[in-house]
C-alpha cells in the first residue's frame, strides 16, 4: 500500500514539472520568444498650432516616409505646462520642442533629457546648441529647429507721426509680459553690450546694477510711460501682442492702432506679408544704445530635445535639423501656412523665406557680429515668470519707487534660484558669433 502511494505521488510530481515546461515551450513558439514589440510611433510635442501646426505636421509625415515609424505631433500654445503634466504622469513625449533653454537646462540637470549624439546633429552653429556640463560631463542636450530675430522694429510708412508712435500689446495668454521683457533685454544688449548682457542673463550681473536700471528707465522714456494715462496703460496691458481680433482673427498691431512702430519678433511679419507700406529695420537705431553694439542682435529659438530612450528619437532629431528637413518644412509652410510664416533657420546655408520681409530679416541672422539668446528664455522658469510680472507691474505704475522694489525682488529671487557665479549655463552659451 505504501509503495503504491509513493509511486502515485512520484507520478504527480513529474507531471507538475513536465506540464509547465511544455506550456513554456508552447508560448515561446507562439510569440517568437515573447520579446517586447518595438515601439513604432514617436510622439513630438511642439508649440505650433493652427496653420503653423499643420505645416509642421505635414513635414513630420514627409520625413517619416521609408523609416518604418509614424511621427505623431501634439501642438499646444501651453507647451511648458503640457510637458510638466506629461512628465508628472510618467508619459513624456519622445521629442519636445521648447524655446526656453533655461527649462531645458533644468531638465538636463534632473536627468529628464537624453544627450544628443553628435552624429545626429546636422547644421548646428553657435549659440544654438552649446555643450553644457551635467554631473561633470559636457554634452549637447538640444538642437535648434527654427530661430527668430527679436531685435526688430516694424514700421508703417503711412501712419501718423507724433505722440503715440509705438504700438504696445503686452498680453499673451498664460505668458503675458514677454513683449515687455523683450524691450528691456534688447535695450540692455545695445547699451551694455553682449558680455554684460550674458552676465545679467546668467545671474552674474545684479538686477539692481546701474546698467540694468538704465535699461528699464530707457524703456519708460522711449514709450513715454509717465505721460500716458492710467486708462491707456491698462488698455495696453490687456491688448494682445498680435493686435485686437477681427473677423478672421488677430490683425497685427500696426493694422489696428494709430501707431507707427512695433518692436516685434520676426515671425510677426506674417500679419504684414505683401504689405508694401510696412518697413523692417534693426532695433538698434531706436534704443538709445552704443553705436558699437548696433550689429548685435537678440534672438530666440525653438529647440528639439529627446525625452525618451527610443533610438529613433535621436534619428528624428537628425532628420529635422538637417538640410532636407529644413527644405521640407519650408516647402510645407509655403504651401499650408499663411504667407510670411515660412520658418527661419540658423546657419549660412539655411533655406530662405520667400516673403519680402522675411528675406530682409534672414541676412541679419548670418551677418550679425553677435547673436544673444533671449535672456528670459535663459533664466530659471521661476525667475523668468517673475520678470514677466515685473514688467507688467512697472508698466501699470512706472515710478522710480516701483522700479526699485521690483528690481530688489528679482535680485532676491536670483540669489535663491541660482547663486551668482554658479550659473548652470556659461557666458559663451548665451552669446556667440553666427
Alpha carbon distance 43, 63 (integer Å): 14
Q: Which of 370, 392, 409 represents a domain boundary (last residue)? A: 370
Angle at 182 between CA 178 and CA 185, to 5 degrees: 130
**Is residue 342 within 8 Å of 354, Cβ to Cβ?**
yes
Angle at 46 between CA 327 and CA 312, to 5 degrees: 70
Q: Considering the domain boundaries, does residue 274 fall inside one?
A: yes
Banded pLDDT at 340 (limits 50, 70, 90): confident
Q: Which of 370, 389, 408 represents a domain boundary (last residue)? A: 370
Q: 22-45 in b/e burial notation, b at 16+ Cβ within 10 A?
A: eeeeeeeeeeeeeeeeeeeebbbb
Same domain for 325 and 241:
no
Q: Considering the domain boundaries, does residue 115 fall inside one?
A: yes
Same domain for 397 and 355:
no
Banded pLDDT at 258 (limits 50, 70, 90): confident
Q: Considering the domain boundaries, does residue 11 fall inside one?
A: no
Q: Which of 323, 350, 370 represents a domain boundary (last residue)? A: 370
pLDDT at 126: 58
Residue 249: how many other CB atoms lie within 10 Å: 11
- SS3 state at 179: helix
Residues 6+ apart with CB under 8 A from 383: 410, 413, 414, 417, 418
What's the CATH number where 177 sits?
A: 3.40.190.10
Same domain for 284 and 391:
yes
Angle subtended by helix axes 381-396 and 178-192, to nearest 10: 90
Same domain for 206 and 158:
yes
**Is residue 386 within 8 Å of 409, Cβ to Cβ?**
yes
Q: Considering the domain boundaries, does residue 5 fall inside one?
A: no
Number of domains the chain contains: 2
Q: What kind and span of H or E run contains 302? A: strand 296-306
* Per-residue model confidence as pLDDT tens digits over 279-335: 999 999 999 999 999 999 999 999 999 999 998 999 999 999 999 999 999 999 999
Same domain for 391 and 338:
no
Q: Considering the domain boundaries, does residue 17 fall inside one?
A: no
Angle at 199 between CA 377 and CA 422, to 5 degrees: 90
Phi then psi for residue 170, to 5 deg, are: -105, 0
Same domain for 313 and 292:
no
Same domain for 382 and 310:
no
Mean pLDDT value across the chain: 86
Same domain for 324 and 247:
no
Banded pLDDT at 350 (limits 50, 70, 90): confident
Whole-model pTM over 0.85 = yes
Same domain for 264 and 315:
no
Same domain for 263 and 338:
no
Q: Considering the domain boundaries, does residue 33 fall inside one?
A: no
Same domain for 185 and 333:
no
DSSP per position, 21-77: HHHHHHHHHHHTT-PPPPP-EEEEEES--HHHHHHHHHHHHHHHTTTT-EEEEEE-S
HSE at residue 56, side-chain half, CA atoms within 13 A, is: 23
Same domain for 293 and 167:
yes
Q: Considering the domain boundaries, does residue 21 fall inside one?
A: no
pLDDT at 299: 95
**Greatest distance between any 2 Cα atoms in the chain:** 117
Q: Considering the domain boundaries, does residue 379 fall inside one?
A: yes
Q: Which domain range does residue 119 map to?
A: 41-148+299-370
Amino acid at each position: 500500500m505504501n509503495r503504491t502511494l509513493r509511486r502515485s505521488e512520484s507520478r504527480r510530481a513529474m507531471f507538475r514539472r513536465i506540464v509547465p515546461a511544455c506550456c513554456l515551450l508552447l508560448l515561446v513558439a507562439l510569440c517568437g520568444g515573447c520579446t517586447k514589440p518595438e515601439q513604432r510611433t514617436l510622439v513630438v510635442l511642439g508649440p505650433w498650432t493652427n496653420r503653423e501646426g499643420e505645416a509642421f505636421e505635414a513635414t513630420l509625415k514627409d520625413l517619416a516616409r521609408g523609416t518604418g515609424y509614424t511621427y505623431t505631433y501634439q501642438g499646444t500654445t501651453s507647451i511648458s505646462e503640457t510637458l510638466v503634466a506629461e512628465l508628472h504622469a510618467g508619459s513624456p513625449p519622445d521629442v519636445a520642442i521648447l524655446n526656453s533653454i533655461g527649462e531645458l537646462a533644468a531638465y538636463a540637470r534632473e536627468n529628464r533629457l537624453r544627450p544628443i549624439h553628435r552624429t545626429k546633429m546636422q547644421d548646428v552653429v553657435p549659440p544654438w546648441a552649446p555643450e553644457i556640463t551635467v554631473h561633470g560631463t559636457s554634452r549637447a542636450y538640444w538642437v535648434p529647429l527654427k530661430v527668430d530675430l527679436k531685435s526688430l522694429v516694424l514700421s508703417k510708412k503711412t501712419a501718423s507721426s507724433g505722440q503715440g508712435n509705438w504700438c504696445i500689446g503686452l498680453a499673451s495668454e498664460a505668458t503675458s509680459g514677454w513683449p515687455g521683457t523683450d524691450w528691456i533685454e534688447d535695450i540692455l544688449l545695445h547699451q551694455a553690450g553682449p558680455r554684460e548682457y550674458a552676465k545679467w542673463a546668467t545671474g552674474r550681473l545684479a538686477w539692481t546694477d546701474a546698467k540694468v536700471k538704465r535699461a528699464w528707465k530707457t524703456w519708460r522714456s522711449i514709450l513715454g510711460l509717465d505721460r500716458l494715462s492710467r486708462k491707456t496703460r491698462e488698455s495696453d496691458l490687456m491688448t494682445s501682442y498680435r493686435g485686437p481680433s477681427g473677423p478672421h482673427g488677430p490683425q497685427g498691431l500696426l493694422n489696428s492702432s494709430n501707431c507707427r512702430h512695433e518692436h516685434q519678433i520676426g515671425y510677426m511679419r506674417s500679419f504684414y506679408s505683401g504689405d508694401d507700406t510696412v518697413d523692417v529695420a534693426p532695433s538698434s537705431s531706436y534704443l538709445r544704445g552704443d553705436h558699437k553694439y548696433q550689429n548685435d542682435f537678440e534672438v530666440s529659438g525653438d529647440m528639439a530635445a529627446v525625452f525618451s530612450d527610443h533610438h529613433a528619437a535621436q534619428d528624428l532629431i537628425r532628420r529635422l535639423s538637417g538640410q532636407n528637413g529644413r527644405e521640407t518644412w519650408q516647402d510645407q509652410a509655403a504651401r499650408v501656412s499663411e504667407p510670411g510664416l515660412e520658418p527661419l533657420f540658423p546657419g549660412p546655408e539655411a533655406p530662405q523665406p520667400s516673403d519680402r520681409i522675411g528675406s530682409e530679416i534672414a541676412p541679419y541672422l548670418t551677418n550679425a557680429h553677435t547673436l544673444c539668446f533671449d535672456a528670459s528664455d535663459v533664466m530659471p522658469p521661476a525667475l523668468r515668470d517673475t520678470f514677466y510680472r515685473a514688467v507688467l507691474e512697472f508698466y501699470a505704475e512706472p515710478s522710480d519707487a516701483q522700479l526699485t522694489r521690483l528690481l530688489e525682488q528679482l535680485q532676491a529671487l536670483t540669489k535663491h534660484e541660482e547663486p551668482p557665479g554658479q550659473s548652470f549655463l556659461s557666458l559663451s552659451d548665451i552669446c556667440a558669433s553666427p
